[in-house]
Structure 1
Amino acid sequence: MNIDLRHLRCFLTVAQEGGFTAAGRRLHLTQPTLTRNIRTLEQTLGVKLFERSTRRTELTEKGKALQEAVAPLLRQLDSALRDLQKGEKLRIGFSWGLPEGLSRLAARFSEETGVGVEFIRCDTPQAGLDTGEADLGLLRSASIPKGLRGVHLYEEDRIAAVPASWRLAERTELDWADLTEVPLIINTVSGTTFPDMWPAGRRPTVGAECRNFDEWLEQVAVGLGVGTAPVSAALRYTHPAVRLVPLTGAPTVPAYLAHPSHGAHPQAARFAHQVWQAAGELHP
């Protein structure tokens, strides 16, 4: 027989609630949808499961028999499915600077689904998605790379990181255009600032290149050049030899939570969607 689990769950909920209206609220289904599911189940089985009147809904003898048989089976199935999820992990890759509030959303997700969420630092262009180390990646880029899909979380301002020994560090504010006059430190792997972001003919020279945030900070500290980064990351990773100077006129840094378009972890899209829905709780 072609009976879906949703038909049986709808049947049990109506039986437990004693009516379609209460069952619909519990299942978050409209009454017509719930009625169609019950009718489909009755037609497939060829028996009447409920006696309906304008005042109440009661199980028939066949309905009572089905409830007694199916209820323990579905409880056993739900228990087996929960056991399968135990120990399952959803790995979130990041290169630096997780937004405040993301760990709280991850804990909420784990409580709801039974799937643990762990954060792993991956110094790769796609925060571990490109190497298979992560199931989702927190990306700071102009757009989501090809082969990935995801959600846009927020836009973040930039701040300038200046060697503390430079006179430029005495400034109370820098403009994006001011950076064309000084060497720029480039994080080629997970950075967000590159010379081609300035107009042709007015681009800064490259003072040094590096491959992760720690190297970037150290190269600024020794005076090889100036860097820019999202405000949250720069404030979180400070250095006594680096001065953080407010930056005006700079393009913002988008933040995305992305996963592979194909072959993604079964819970990846669900987690990304829940984080997107609660993006207002995130603070860069």
Structure 2
Amino acid sequence: MNIDLRHLRCFLAVAEEGGFTAAGRRLHLTQPTLTRNIRTLEESLGVRLFERSTRRTELTDKGKILREAVTPLLRQLDSTLGDLQKGEKLRIGFSWGLPEGLSRLAARFGEETGVGVEFIRCDTPQAGLDTGEAHLALLRSAPLPKGLRGVLLFEESRIAAVPASWQLAERTELDWAELAGLPLVVNTVSGTTFPDMWPDGSRPVVGAECRNFDEWLEKVAVGLGVGTAPVSAARRYMHPGVRLVPLTGAPTVPAYLAHPSHGAHPQAARFADQTWRAADELQHA
């Protein structure tokens, strides 16, 4: 018989609500869709489950029998499915600088789905997706690496990071082109600034390399070079040896929430989509 859970849930909602209109509101279905599901169920069983009139919808004797049988079965199924979700975790990897407001969206997601969200720092090129530690990752790179898909949450302007001991730190503003004449501190794993972003023939030399944001900050502080970061770094990271100077003419930094194209956690795409829809909350928290 061509019967599935959708048909049985529609049947039970109409039986409990006493009508199609109230049942449609409960299930967030249009009345034609609900009616079609009930008709399919009746045709598959070969019996009438409801007596319909212009004023009321009542269960037939066969409908009452089905309701008595289906009610405990669906309740037990829902309870079992809920128990399976308990303790399930969705791990989100990041290398540095989680957007403001993301933790609030994660908490809301957990309340709605029963799936908890954990944030884990992973200093790898794909913030834990490449090692399997994370189900989703915040990546600041464009385009996304092959094998990943995701949503663009926002694009952020940059700020320059210069050693506080340099005279350059007294400037109120720097231009992107000026940085080409200065040594650059490059985070080779999770950085957003590399020499090839400048035109050929006017690229900065590499003053130092590192593998994470903390090392990057320390190398700038001791005067090995300059760097750039999203402007949110000015709010999230402070270092007495580093001055953050407004930067003009610089390319923006995209922020993606990414997951594997194949074999992703069942809730990964759902969380990414919900976060994308609420992206304004991330920048205006």
TM-score, normalized by the shorter chain, greater than 0.5: yes
Q: CA deviation at 1:203?
A: 0.9
Query: Is the contact between residue 96 and residue 233 of structure 1 (CA under 8 Å) also seen in structure 2?
Result: no
1:81-160 alignment to 2 at 5 Å? 81-160=81-160
1:207 matched to which residue of 2? 207
User: Structure 1-normalised TM-score?
Assistant: 0.98
Number of residue pairs the alignment of both structures matches: 284
The unaligned stretches of length 5 or more in structure 2 are none
User: Per the alignment, in what secondary structure is the counterpart of residue 120 of structure 1?
Assistant: strand
Q: Which amino acid aligns with 2:235?
A: L
CA distance in 2 between counterparts of 1:64 and 1:235 reads 63
2:77 matched to which residue of 1? 77
2:56 matched to which residue of 1? 56
2:23 matched to which residue of 1? 23
Q: CA deviation at 1:253?
A: 0.5
CA distance in 2 between counterparts of 1:278 and 1:17 reads 34
1:276 matched to which residue of 2? 276
User: Per the alignment, in what secondary structure is the counterpart of residue 282 of structure 1?
Assistant: helix
2:179 matched to which residue of 1? 179
Task: Give % identity.
Answer: 86
Q: CA deviation at 1:100?
A: 0.9
CA distance in 2 between counterparts of 1:258 and 1:240 reads 34
Q: Deviations over 1:7-28 (max 9, x none)?
A: 0001111111111122112212
1:152-171 alignment to 2 at 5 Å? 152-171=152-171
1:242 matched to which residue of 2? 242
Q: CA deviation at 1:234?
A: 4.2
* 2:16 aligned with 1:6: no
Q: CA deviation at 1:233?
A: 2.6
Q: CA deviation at 1:144?
A: 1.8
Moved more, 226-235 or 199-208: 226-235
Q: Which amino acid aligns with 1:262?
A: H
User: Per the alignment, in what secondary structure is the counterpart of residue 110 of structure 2?
Assistant: helix
The unaligned stretches of length 5 or more in structure 1 are none
User: Structure 2-normalised TM-score?
Assistant: 0.97
Q: Deviations over 1:43-88 (max 9, x none)?
A: 1111101111122211111111111110111011100011111111
Q: Which amino acid aligns with 2:247?
A: L
Query: Is the contact between residue 161 and residue 234 of structure 1 (CA under 8 Å) also seen in structure 2?
Result: no
Q: Which amino acid aligns with 1:170?
A: E
Q: Deviations over 1:217-276 (max 9, x none)?
A: 000001000010111134312110100101111111010101001010011111111111
CA distance in 1 between counterparts of 2:177 and 2:85 reads 52
CA distance in 1 between counterparts of 2:214 and 2:234 reads 11
